[in-house]
């Protein structure tokens, strides 16, 4: 029986809605601001046998699109290899980066879903926990040389068994992380999101029947693959190269190169494909900027999705994308390489290299590079007024690149997701800090016919007590590159003012365990986006408007006249 188009569309939206409601349940019940306010989480439905993506919430982080299916596959492998019995209400917890993960702070819950007594699919979600132990509060160690220094690593184990929380496993987890008393709220929120998914999926299956829904899933996968091949077919056949650089690994103060080669072949929706080869990239590094293979692959998936945003998301979307595994490089981390920067930073450099390569093939569809850093800042200490420990995690926006459509967006979220900065009022309420400035990073937009968007400046003053500051950021050496003659955006800068003395990290965008006291300042400026097109061709009226608004000084505006 062929499923009719209307039913197919209804079921596609119905599956997505299940995931959307999981996302909302997670956000609304989470304790940590990084989940409840910054939206650093994702939920999805995965195939019972292969672990492949069936549907993911529209409100989830794009970088988790690929990594979560690899995590589910790791859980399936564990179940088969160890003959683990599955029951309704079981929930596995896992954050092992080498088992389809990202960094240790991204904790996954994976649950088997049963329908009519048989395993029908897997439900899974990811939430960024503000701390999982390790050398520094928040987990973003800039100097770690092995994964054990980054925090507690969890293989797939059942945290819930037939609906009951395993308090022995929970006690092990809570005994190895900071602010442990606050984690139970996030754990129950994460489990509640899966419970919401079960209820909504059960209603969908009851209404349309399991057979019809399974038929729709197979057809949606086939159509997504064909749709992606149609987009790829329009790219001229050939081999295209691009590159991107990570500032440093946090230990050795030298840049890491991502060498991207993309080969396009096939001229129809039946055979078009892209092959990605990064084997010429830098070797494994000592510091935490290694990327696990799941994150490396997911970074390519999300980059291509940025180029072709109208293609639906499921496992079929990725079928025309072949990735040569970059073994022997820092983009294929193996135990015990540290990886805290892989998902938040290296992933965005990989996407940037994809944009650079495809810019040679389809220049009219690409854009200047976005800021390309999540701006990870961790501040941990003791609040003497509230008499409790805290870990404050700050992510920040940056400029988007200029494009054929116009100037880049200012203070946009990172390439890898929809996460946003936690509202300042929330952070000032929860933590002993005062934001003395939050403003546009004027002048940071790369010059171009369509300029890049602007990053942000912020200054945080510690109001009381003592704290330790760590950051893993990027684009401190050079700004996001422009496209078709556009100039690079402004760079990321960090400065810590202690007792009137200014400390600038040796690695510019990475440092850890900087002790500060009451009255000290943390000053950050995030990158702007790269410009698009010849700066000399910018509309004079648009340039005058930029000057009138204070976006550029007259000296900076000279970039547009000289190109």
Among 304-308, 416-420, 493-497, the least confident range: 416-420
Query: Quick check: 419 pLDDT over 90?
Result: no
Query: Quick check: 415 pLDDT over 90?
Result: no
Mean pLDDT computed over 494-502: 95
Percent of the chain clearing pLDDT 90 (strictly above): 92
Burial class (CB in 10 A: 0-12, 13-18, 19+), 84: middle
User: What pLDDT does residue 253 have?
Assistant: 97
Instruction: Say if residues 301 and 350 touch (Cβ distance below 8 Å).
Output: no
Q: Between β-strands 53-56 and 41-47, what pairing exists: parallel, antiparallel or unpaired?
A: antiparallel
Nearest partner of 542 among 555, 530, 560, judged by Cα: 560
Q: Which of 178-182, 277-281, 311-315 has the highest mean pLDDT?
A: 277-281
Question: Would you give the distance in Å from CA 398 to the centre of its chain?
Answer: 14
The residue with tokens 């002790």 is 515
Nearest partner of 552 among 447, 455, 442, judged by Cα: 442
Mean pLDDT computed over 229-239: 97
Q: How confident is the model at residue 136 (pLDDT cuts 50, 70, 90)?
A: very high
User: What pLDDT does residue 1 have?
Assistant: 61
Per-residue model confidence as pLDDT tens digits over 142-197:
999 999 999 999 999 999 999 999 999 999 999 999 999 888 999 999 999 999 99
The residue with tokens 């292969």 is 50
Per-residue model confidence as pLDDT tens digits over 377-395:
999 999 999 999 999 999 9
Mean pLDDT computed over 49-69: 88
Query: Quick check: 242 pLDDT over 60?
Result: yes
User: What pLDDT does residue 64 have?
Assistant: 82
Mean pLDDT computed over 291-304: 95
User: What pLDDT does residue 562 have?
Assistant: 56
Mean pLDDT computed over 252-278: 96
Query: Quick check: 227 pLDDT over 60?
Result: yes
User: What pLDDT does residue 182 have?
Assistant: 83
Q: Is the pTM of this model over 0.85?
A: yes
**Mean residue pLDDT across the chain:** 95
**In what side-by-side order are the strands of the sheet with 273-277?**
238-246, 256-265, 273-277, 321-324
Query: Quick check: 283 pLDDT over 60?
Result: yes
Burial class (CB in 10 A: 0-12, 13-18, 19+), 550: exposed
């Amino acid at each position: 029986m062929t499923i009719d188009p209307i039913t197919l569309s209804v079921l596609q939206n119905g599956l997505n809605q299940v995931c959307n409601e999981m996302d909302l349940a997670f956000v609304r019940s989470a304790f940590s601001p990084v989940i409840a306010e910054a939206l650093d989480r994702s939920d999805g439905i995965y195939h019972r046998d292969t672990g492949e993506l069936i549907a993911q919430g529209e409100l989830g982080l794009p970088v988790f699109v690929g990594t979560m299916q690899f995590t589910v596959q790791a859980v399936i492998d564990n179940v088969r290899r160890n003959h683990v019995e599955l029951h309704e209400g079981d929930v596995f917890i896992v954050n092992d980066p080498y088992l389809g993960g990202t960094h240790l702070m991204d904790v996954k819950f994976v649950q088997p879903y049963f329908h009519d007594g048989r395993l029908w699919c897997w439900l899974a979600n990811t939430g960024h926990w503000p701390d999982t132990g390790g050398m520094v509060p928040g987990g973003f160690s800039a100097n770690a040389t092995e994964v054990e220094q980054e925090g507690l690593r969890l293989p797939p184990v059942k945290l819930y068994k037939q609906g009951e929380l395993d308090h022995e496993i929970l006690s092990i987890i809570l005994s190895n992380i900071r602010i442990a008393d606050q984690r139970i709220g996030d754990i129950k929120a994460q489990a509640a999101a899966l419970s919401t998914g079960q209820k909504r999926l059960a209603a969908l299956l009851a209404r349309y029947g399991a057979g019809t829904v399974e038929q729709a899933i197979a057809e949606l996968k086939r159509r997504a693959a064909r749709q992606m091949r149609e987009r790829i077919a329009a790219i001229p056949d050939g081999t295209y190269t691009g590159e991107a650089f990570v500032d440093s690994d946090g230990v050795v103060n030298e840049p890491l190169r991502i060498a991207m080669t993309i080969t396009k072949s096939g001229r129809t929706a039946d055979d078009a494909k892209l092959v990605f080869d990064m084997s010429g990239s830098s070797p494994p590094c000592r510091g935490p900027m290694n990327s696990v293979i799941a994150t490396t692959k997911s970074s390519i998936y999300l980059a291509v999705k940025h180029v072709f945003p109208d293609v639906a998301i499921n496992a079929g979307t990725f079928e025309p994308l072949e990735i040569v595994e970059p073994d022997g490089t820092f983009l294929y981390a193996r135990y015990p390489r540290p990886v805290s920067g892989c998902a938040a930073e290296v992933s965005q450099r990989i996407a940037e290299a994809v944009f650079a390569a495809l810019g040679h093939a389809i220049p009219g569809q690409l854009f200047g590079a976005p800021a390309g850093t999540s701006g990870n800042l961790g501040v941990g200490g003791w609040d003497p007024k509230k008499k409790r420990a805290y870990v404050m995690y700050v992510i920040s926006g940056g400029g988007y690149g200029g494009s054929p459509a116009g100037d880049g967006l200012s203070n946009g979220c990172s390439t890898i997701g929809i996460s946003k900065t936690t509202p300042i009022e929330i952070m000032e309420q929860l933590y002993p800090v005062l934001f003395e400035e939050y403003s546009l990073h004027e002048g940071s937009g790369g010059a171009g016919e369509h300029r890049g968007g602007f990053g942000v400046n912020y200054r945080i003053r510690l109001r009381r007590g003592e704290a330790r500051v760590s950051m893993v950021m990027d684009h401190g050496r050079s700004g996001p590159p422009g496209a078709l003659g556009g100039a690079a955006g402004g760079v990321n800068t960090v400065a810590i003012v202690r007792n009137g003395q200014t400390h600038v990290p040796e690695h510019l965008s990475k440092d850890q365990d900087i002790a500060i006291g009451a009255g000290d300042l943390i000053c950050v400026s995030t990158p702007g986006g790269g410009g698009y097109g010849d700066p000399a061709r910018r509309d004079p009226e648009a340039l005058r408007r930029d000057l009138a608004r204070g976006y550029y000084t007259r000296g900076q505006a000279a970039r547009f006249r000289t190109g």
